[in-house]
Amino acid sequence: MKTLIVVAGPTAVGKTAAAIELAKHFNTVVVSADSRQFFREMAIGTAKPNAAELAAVKHYFIDSHSIAEPFSVGDFEKQGLALLDELFKTHHHVVLAGGSGLYIKAICEGFDELPTTDPAIREKLNRELEETGIASLQQKLKLADPDYYNEVDLGNPQRIIRALEVFESSGKPISSYRQATVNKRPFRIIKLALNLPREVLYNRINERVDVMIQQGLLAEVKALLPHRHLNALNTVGYTELFDYFDGKTSLEKAIEMIKQNTRRFAKRQLTWFRKDSSFHWFQASDADVISQMMNMIENQENID
């Protein structure tokens, strides 16, 4: 049986490096499950693998789409499964690496079909967003679906509106559609997750943001100003700098908000992955963490 090795965890924990080492060991490739690294126009702010890392092993779903193309988690499931079908013809193992829990779940389990919704509800919610801001929608979501509230990117208004739209149309929280029948996949799945002590992780996040600024994040975001209405750009690292370019905040404050919002995002990622008991957890700071992960994979394959 073929094996999909999932490498997950919060942002800045070291998933890319671990995924590359595992891919080298198994003479295979890495499929990205990061919902923003798909987009060619977003390079610095999404912390994509660098040129040396991309050269070390073949990566898929990095720079694969444009921000102008609608690309949903459902699209990723279809395209990702088709890709895995091809990759498993020539590889015994494939590594799926990223921090987007929803996208990992799409590949590993799939989703129930979401109900049809009334377009008038979306229009009403979009008006509310314009008139009262995102905070009131966040509060509505917290009351309607606390599980999803704790997992979703709260800075992404489209995700929040979609969840409220489903709830108001069906009377059921969107999270309930993501807990039903698990679709059996034709490959073995071994889920590995990395973590670090909170202080260490938060320091790494702060340092990474500083490096992004040095690498030219401001110029990248400025070039994307004409496209800011696109859903792909409703993300940490971009929305804060849009506020800076609008004159709503200072550069210093915008950078601090990127750090704070990224730390909050990492906390939500951990909440998501910890709810899945099939993950095996590892300390990214352990000197022999790759050996530990390889041993776990070997043991799991022997059990099966």
Q: Which amino acid is at 96?
A: L
- Tell me if 89 is assigned to a ligand binding site: no
- Tell me if 99 is assigned to a ligand binding site: no
- Tell me if 90 is assigned to a ligand binding site: no
- Tell me if 98 is assigned to a ligand binding site: no
Kindly report the backbone phi and psi dihedral angles of residue 283, in degrees, each rounded to the nearest multiple of 5, phi listed first: -85, 115
CA–CA dist 134, 160 (Å, integer) = 9
- Tell me if 235 is assigned to a ligand binding site: no
- Tell me if 14 is assigned to a ligand binding site: yes
Question: Kindly report the CA angle at 248 between 247 and 253, in degrees rounded to 5?
Answer: 105
- Tell me if 9 is assigned to a ligand binding site: yes
- Tell me if 155 is assigned to a ligand binding site: no
What are the binding residues for substrate? Answer: 11-16
What are the binding residues? Answer: 9-16
What are the binding residues for ATP? Answer: 9-16
